[in-house]
Amino acid sequence: MIGQRLRALWSASRPVHPDTAAALEARWSELPVTARTAAQLLGRHSTGCEGTHGVFPRCNLTCTPCYHAREANSIRTDADHTVAAVDAQMALLRQQRGTGQHAQLIGGEVTLLGPDGHARALEAMERHGRKPMSMTHGDFDYDYLQRLAIGPDGRRRFALLRFAGHFDSLMLGRRGVARPRCEADLNQARRAFVASFERLRREHGVRFDLAHNMTVTPRNLGQVADVARTAMEMGYGMASFQPAAYVGNPKRWRERYEPITIDRVWTEIERGVGCRLPYSHLQMGDPRCNRSAYGIIAAGRWAPLLDDQDPRDLRVRDLFLDAAGGTDIAKPALVLALMILRIVADRPAVAPTAVGWGWRLARRLGLRRLLCGRPRGMTFVVHAFMDAAVVRPAWEAMERGEVADAPELQAAQERLRSCSYAMAHPDTGRLVPACVQHSVLDPEENLMLRELLPIGPGQ
Ligand code: SF4
């Protein structure tokens, strides 16, 4: 019995699961040579983010713009369909991408599933070694959250819930703020969202990890700084901004279409945070798709985990990615401690390097802030999807094994090859970039789902 337990502990404390190590290696070898830089995290730290598709396309808000295909709202939300489809998609991701990866439970509005269906979908994702995050507009009551976290038998179903709340003034129909005039009109809803999770933790001990999402168009670009500051102050662990791409239902575009660059959004985020946000030393996939700044906030001040201008920090990055890049640290304390010991035993240079890095981080934040300022992780992200008009021809050419001639299509193909956000198709055994899913596959998939799950009278 003791021997069995020790063996289980030894196996759980492996820094990287062998399947994940193999998936990382495969991902790295698939990347275009130009993407295999010292900063690249794909294939060294992560196999990429994952998301569901075709599992609950319907939504009860009307966003302008909306990435969903025109038919999405004529499909019934059906928990049995959701759970079966999520289960099959996650099984394929587990097979091809190993364990411990972040996966978004995404489609239309997840809370239309009802708390039990939602819980079953999250459980299926966890069973396949995913770290699920529910993507929602956040317009639900505490009662829903409580019934999601606590089963009908009164027992806690989850120790930790990860949610991303999408709040921006382009969304119409939210209770109490049906037609926001500006981003600040939504601050009460943003705060109430966090407050529900704080209450859940207080009353039931369920921890949380919350992200804040916002779509950016020329209309609200000037308010990004305020939203970044607000999300930081309210207790979100991530603030993610998506410049709107021309995808989805064309009827949902109300304003003149004008692409917004990642640089413009980043400048606004930096204005809100009040400091430079270093990003080029840690890259997930292609820099035209993603930009992230990973840091810690304490007593209202943000500092980067690694300073891109300090060569010592760049050495920390290199050593970490070599020694423990694929490590999943979301483990119980004892397992984590043993895992760290194993990493240090294997690469003793890690210990003094980590001490030096910790000291520099403490100085950047301020020792007093670190000790008394309730430090927590805070990441800023911009994810720029591509327009359907370039994704479709670029993908079709890739499917024929061709490199496109037009420079903008070639650029799209490079981005699709380094994609960091995949969706699984169990029927074909393939993973496809989310851009391809939304721009090429969603419309047809939704037509099929409309036949399979028609909306009944009164729904
Ligand atoms: S989904 Fe599209 S924008 Fe996002 S990483 Fe993949 S290719 Fe880039």
Please enumerate in sequence order all residues whose Cβ is within 8 A of that of 281, keeping only pairs 6 or more positions apart, or say none. Answer: 39, 306, 308, 313, 314, 317
- 187 occurs within a structural domain: yes
- 191 occurs within a structural domain: yes
**What pLDDT score was predicted for residue 278?**
97
**Ligand 1 in reach of 433 Cβ (< 6 A):** yes
Top mutation candidate among 262, 291, 383 for ligand 1, by most atoms within 8 Å of CB:
383
Residue 289 C-alpha to ligand 1 middle, in angstroms?
6
Q: What is the pLDDT along the chain (459 residues), one digit of tens a residue?
A: 788 888 988 988 999 999 999 999 999 999 999 999 999 999 999 999 999 999 999 999 988 888 777 788 899 999 999 999 999 999 999 999 999 999 999 999 999 999 999 999 999 999 999 999 999 999 999 999 999 999 999 999 999 999 999 999 999 999 999 999 999 999 999 999 999 999 999 999 999 999 999 999 999 999 999 999 999 999 999 999 999 998 877 777 777 777 899 999 999 999 999 999 999 999 999 999 999 999 999 999 999 999 999 999 999 999 999 988 888 888 888 888 899 899 999 999 899 999 999 999 999 999 899 899 999 999 999 999 999 999 999 999 999 999 999 999 999 999 999 999 999 999 999 999 999 999 999 999 999 999 999 987 656
Residue 202 C-alpha to ligand 1 middle, in angstroms?
37
Instruction: Report the distance separating Cα 360 and Cα 372, nearest Å.
Output: 18
Task: Determine if residue 366 is left, alpha or beta; phi over 0 gives left, psi from -120 to 50 gives alpha, anything else beta.
Answer: left
Residue 139 C-alpha to ligand 1 middle, in angstroms?
27
- 119 occurs within a structural domain: yes
Check which CATH number belongs to the domain holding 138 and give it: 3.20.20
**Ligand 1 in reach of 163 Cβ (< 6 A):** no
Residue 420 C-alpha to ligand 1 middle, in angstroms?
6
Residue 230 C-alpha to ligand 1 middle, in angstroms?
27
**Ligand 1 in reach of 51 Cβ (< 6 A):** no
Q: pTM for this one?
A: 0.94
**Ligand 1 in reach of 381 Cβ (< 6 A):** no
Q: Ligand 1 atom 8: the closest Cα is on which residue?
A: 289
- 199 occurs within a structural domain: yes
Residues 139/174, Cβ–Cβ less than 8 Å: yes
**What pLDDT score was predicted for residue 253?**
72
Q: What is the number of residues in the chain?
A: 459
Domain that holds residue 56: 47-306+377-452
Give how many domains the chain has, as a whole number: 1
**What pLDDT score was predicted for residue 457?**
64
- 17 occurs within a structural domain: no
Residues 217/264, Cβ–Cβ less than 8 Å: no
Closest ligand 1 atom to Cα of 285: 5
Residue 391 C-alpha to ligand 1 middle, in angstroms?
10
Instruction: Report the distance separating Cα 132 and Cα 367, nearest Å.
Output: 34
- 246 occurs within a structural domain: yes
Instruction: Report the distance separating Cα 92 and Cα 60, nearest Å.
Output: 30
**Ligand 1 in reach of 385 Cβ (< 6 A):** yes
- 123 occurs within a structural domain: yes
- 356 occurs within a structural domain: no
**What pLDDT score was predicted for residue 259?**
82
Omega before residue 65 within 30° of 0, cis: yes
Q: Which helix (H) or strand (E) holds 377?
A: strand 376-383
Long-range pairs, 356-362, Cβ under 8 A, ≥24: 356/312, 356/316, 357/306, 357/312, 357/313, 357/316, 360/307, 360/310, 360/312, 360/313, 361/296, 361/303, 361/305
Phi then psi dihedrals of residue 9, to 5 deg: -65, -40
